[in-house]
Amino acid sequence: MTRGRRLALIALVVLIAVAGFVIAKSGSDNKDKSATVTETTKAGKKEVTSTTTEVAPVPIEVKNGKPAGGVKKITVNKGDPVRFTVHSDVADEVHVHGYDFHKDVTKGGSVSFDFPAKIDGIFVIELENRREQLASLEVQP
């Protein structure tokens, strides 16, 4: 094999490798989706950060009309989905302030929220009639 053919073969292999990389990279979603949940307990704060391609809904449990484990902190980046589910032992309206989303939850029932984080800032999620804060939603720019 001549030197010219070897160089042509190496160039071809490099070209195929680069093309494969570009194709593989364009088919993936580079934007990591992450959610941070902070729970306050009597022993202190526990923070859990999850980074995945799909964000599971943050569970919020209401017992005796109050958030079990304390007020949750949900942190997302602007443009990412906000997903949470409220399981409640009391009937009330769950209200996401700032976004002005309202959903009724029945006693012993659940209600789920799934919306894009279009407005950055910090927003209260509460049982509206009881004026009981369940979570704090922070949307980072």
Can you give the pLDDT at residue 29? 45
Enter the tokens of residue 116: 């894009």
Given a contact cutoff of 8 angstroms between Cβ atoms, the answer to whether 128 and 104 are in contact is no
Can you give the pLDDT at residue 33? 47
Are residue 83 and residue 134 in the same domain, yes or no?
Answer: yes
Can you give the pLDDT at residue 20? 59
Are residue 54 and residue 121 in the same domain, yes or no?
Answer: yes
Are residue 23 and residue 76 in the same domain, yes or no?
Answer: no
Are residue 10 and residue 63 in the same domain, yes or no?
Answer: no
Total domain count for the chain?
2
Can you give the pLDDT at residue 32? 45
Are residue 88 and residue 128 in the same domain, yes or no?
Answer: yes
Query: Please, which residues bridge with residue 12 across strands?
Result: none
Query: Please, which residues bridge with residue 44 across strands?
Result: 41
Are residue 44 and residue 110 in the same domain, yes or no?
Answer: yes
Are residue 7 and residue 71 in the same domain, yes or no?
Answer: no
With 0.75 as the threshold, say if the pTM is over it. Answer: no
| Type of residue at 46 | K
Are residue 55 and residue 108 in the same domain, yes or no?
Answer: yes
Can you give the pLDDT at residue 46? 56
Are residue 79 and residue 23 in the same domain, yes or no?
Answer: no
Are residue 82 and residue 60 in the same domain, yes or no?
Answer: yes
Are residue 80 and residue 102 in the same domain, yes or no?
Answer: yes
Q: Which domain holds residue 95?
A: 33-140
Mind listing the pLDDT tens digit of every residue in the chain (141 residues)?
788 787 777 776 776 766 655 565 544 444 444 455 555 555 555 555 544 457 799 999 999 999 999 999 999 999 999 999 999 999 999 999 999 999 999 999 999 999 999 999 999 999 999 999 999 999 999
Given a contact cutoff of 8 angstroms between Cβ atoms, the answer to whether 14 and 22 are in contact is no
Are residue 132 and residue 97 in the same domain, yes or no?
Answer: yes
Can you give the pLDDT at residue 97? 97
Residues composing the chain: 141
Given a contact cutoff of 8 angstroms between Cβ atoms, the answer to whether 139 and 96 are in contact is no
